[in-house]
Structure 1
Amino acid sequence: MASSAEVTKLALVAGEVSGDLLAARLMAGLKPHLPDVSFSGIGGPRMLEQGLASDVPMDTLTVRGLLPVLLRYRELKGIQNRLRDRLLAERPAAFIGADYPGFNLGLEEQLRAAGIPTVHFVGPQIWAWRGGRIKKIRRAVSHMLVIFPFEEEIYQKAGVPVTYIGHPLAETIPLVPDVLAARRQLGLPENARVVTVMPGSRMSEIKYLTEPYVRTVQLLAARDPSVRFIAPMAGERQKAYFMELVAKAGLPNLLNEMPLQLVDGESHACIAAADAVLAASGTATLEVALYKKPMVIAYKVLQAEWLLIRNMGYLPWIGLPNILARDFVVPEFLQHAATPEALAEAVWFQLTDENNRVRLQQRFTEMHHSLLRDSARESARAVLEVIGKA
């Protein structure tokens, strides 16, 4: 058995489901090279499966939107300070922040100033908004791991050591999805038209998208009663909140009247089974693209927050497929534009236009190939170099 002196200590923090997935793959990639490794920090179920000792549940950190973060600032700052003090005392070989830049960059800056190497996994979207953060990144990050090919040049020019590792989702999602297997798994007819509705995993996404999404389904069901609708729920808490919002909107019987099937988890099966998808902005839109599905993107936040952020972006797109394509390959409906009528019309087009379907399959297949790398190996190699164990 290895003595405590031989153990390689690594600290990691993920604040959301996507970061949990990314960090877990990195941990799996490191284990063959560091059999004596110990992981601590904050993470979700996938990181726990890889052996992480988590200081607090990851859900404690999962907050979306500027105003919700401000309301919980003291709580989150307290968690950050306690973790910082522990890591300064324990001196891990490196700290790895998996996305969640608002929390992780501040922590990384303090740890790096104290001589602890820092790796940040998934570059903050400085190419989309708040490009001034590159100065803080230079101070905070010893090595940046990026998941989109165009990001490498941005960090190289800024003088930040960087490695493009590919996107882990491009490895986990098949190049050719098995639609029939997904439909059998979900109990859906093989020949039905299927629309997947994805209101998001964050409570704030569900808050602002549930009513317009359900009313969109209502309009589409009236247009073609044979269409089947499925909605993956990220967890019991999200499902209960979704149902509560449906009731508050005066639609308590609507789910029974329409062929809308709520699915516990299984988001990838729900996407694979679909002919078209209505998705909240974020990683889900990239997942839909990698499954080669026509989609409509919708994004809504608290009005006060929208007034703050609407002119802060550098790009005309918010959906990852459009950002990667540098074009509006799929429609986006933001804030007041995300009406049930507009969404229903756009989803109907995505569902029924065969030329559009063929065009998107070709674009999304090219996108898939561009993102395909062995991300676990590439990210592990970069971390091993940072800690001097390559």
Structure 2
Amino acid sequence: MVAGEPSGDLLASRLLSGLRPSLPDAHIHGIGGPHMQRYGFQADWPMEKLSVRGLFEVLAHYREIKQIQNSLRDKLLAEKPAVFIGVDAPDFNFGLEAQLKQAGVPTMHFISPSIWAWRGGRIKKVARAVSHMLVVFPFEEAIYREAGIPVTYVGYPLAEVIPIQPDVSAARHQLGLPQEVPVVTIMPGSRMSELKYNSATFVAALRLLAQRDKGIRFIAPMAGERQKTYFESLIRQAGLQDVDIQILDGQSHKAITAADTVLVASGTATLEVALFKKPMVIAYKMLAPSWHIMRRMAYQPWVGLPNILARDFVVPEYLQDAATPQALADALWKQLGDMPLRDSIYARFTEMHHELRRDSAKESAQAVLQLIEQTRGRNRMHSVPIS
């Protein structure tokens, strides 16, 4: 298995929770994080090596990433595992999967790339690389069936973990927050590359909100110690020591639950915020050349997953030059003060939550076991001598 970032690690752990009871003695290894390791997963390389985003940012780390990919490929070609499962990280995993599939190793990919949002031609690359696709959104099944790629819709794993009615009072109590104060959670991204492009603007928006209402409490969950140290340095540089900002080690779900609204970098975290039924402002910045290339590839108006699923701008999106501190602060301020808007968002996201909720651990594990059995069956047929 290969998962390249914290969200993939969490999603893969749901699959493993369903798979381990059927394969208690299986050796499961590759690239992954702590959530996967709880189910006996062995990390051959640290997951952080793959946590790079953006076309030009990846180029800076290309040699090291390619070396890891080649080393893992050689190891797996010699080992001939029962199945390889790539979890998200499409640019790394599809290249590896194509070589393994060609060599007779069954390959499964968990989480479809956003071929429905941009780079639609990628479906041909998927067909060459993937024996079976696991998708988390219901509309994705038809896309892969039409392309002749075996597919299973397993639901969105976190839709089972996140409660339909989050306990805001309990989360605030656990974080030492008063029940009645306005709370804004700041989530500039889990990768260091994301933090470096998003955090300064997010912090500047935080400053503008604090100037409007000194009673606002801010929470910033950080994915690791490096991220936390970097974000703390920006807070100091901005002179915001007097603003009530609680920087957490992880605990993103608790931070989202406690919030009245969330400022979040575009990515899978936006769907987590939606599952907690929270208003949010989606923003994203990246290296300018990467942005210009990716913008031309897009062919629908939304980038945030909640908006894509709703096919509507349920929550605002501010990208690249549009993501100014003033624009972000104004949008967050509106959400803090507009109760009918917040009630409307809560209703839309509750409906979305029900649509995405399935037993993903059971569904995904069953698909893995079936793929292994199908491959074994074919191998047995090929090994029978013809009289």
Interval of TM-score (by shorter of Structure 1 and Structure 2)? over 0.9
Partner of 2:218: 229
Q: Compute the TM-score of the two structures, normalised by the length of structure 1.
A: 0.94
| Contact 1:207–1:245 under 8 Å retained in 2 | no
Where do residues 3-82 of structure 1 align in structure 2 (5 Å cutoff)?
A: 12-82=1-71
Partner of 1:240: 229
What's the CA shift for 1:241? 1.4
Q: Which blocks of at least 5 consecutive residues in structure 2 are unaligned? A: 377-387
| Contact 2:90–2:113 under 8 Å retained in 1 | yes
1:102-149 Cα deviation digits (max 9, x unpaired): 000000000000000000000111001111111111111000000011
Partner of 2:295: 310
Tell me, what secondary structure is at the counterpart of 1:38? coil
* Structure 2: distance between partners of 1:22 and 1:307: 30
| Contact 1:108–1:118 under 8 Å retained in 2 | yes
Q: Compute the TM-score of the two structures, normalised by the length of structure 2.
A: 0.95
2:342 is the counterpart of 1:357: yes
Partner of 1:195: 184
* Structure 2: distance between partners of 1:63 and 1:287: 21
* Structure 1: distance between partners of 2:158 and 2:18: 15
- The one of 259, 273, 279 aligned to 1:274: 259
What's the CA shift for 1:36? 2.6
Worse-superposed segment, 302-311 or 360-369: 302-311
| Contact 1:210–1:246 under 8 Å retained in 2 | no
* Structure 1: distance between partners of 2:359 and 2:343: 28
1:201-256 Cα deviation digits (max 9, x unpaired): 11111111111111111111111111111111111110111123445xx41x31x1
- The one of 88, 91, 95 aligned to 2:77: 88
* Structure 2: distance between partners of 1:284 and 1:35: 31
* Structure 2: distance between partners of 1:183 and 1:124: 35
* Structure 2: distance between partners of 1:142 and 1:124: 15
What's the CA shift for 1:35? 2.5
Partner of 2:163: 174
2:148 is the counterpart of 1:159: yes
Tell me, what secondary structure is at the counterpart of 1:311? helix
Partner of 2:280: 295
* Structure 2: distance between partners of 1:279 and 1:203: 15
| Matched-pair identity in % | 64
- The one of 245, 256, 259 aligned to 1:260: 245
Tell me, what secondary structure is at the counterpart of 1:81? helix
Aligned residues: 375
Partner of 1:378: 363
Where do residues 121-160 of structure 1 align in structure 2 (5 Å cutoff)?
A: 121-160=110-149
Q: Which blocks of at least 5 consecutive residues in structure 1 are unaligned? A: 1-11
| Contact 1:211–1:245 under 8 Å retained in 2 | yes
* Structure 2: distance between partners of 1:136 and 1:306: 23
| Contact 2:85–2:108 under 8 Å retained in 1 | yes
* Structure 2: distance between partners of 1:283 and 1:186: 24
Tell me, what secondary structure is at the counterpart of 1:277? strand
| Contact 2:261–2:278 under 8 Å retained in 1 | yes
1:34-88 Cα deviation digits (max 9, x unpaired): 2331101111111111111211111111111111111111111111111111111
What's the CA shift for 1:362? 0.7
* Structure 2: distance between partners of 1:102 and 1:156: 22
* Structure 2: distance between partners of 1:235 and 1:226: 28
Partner of 1:346: 331
Worse-superposed segment, 197-206 or 369-378: 197-206
Matched AA of 2:277: K
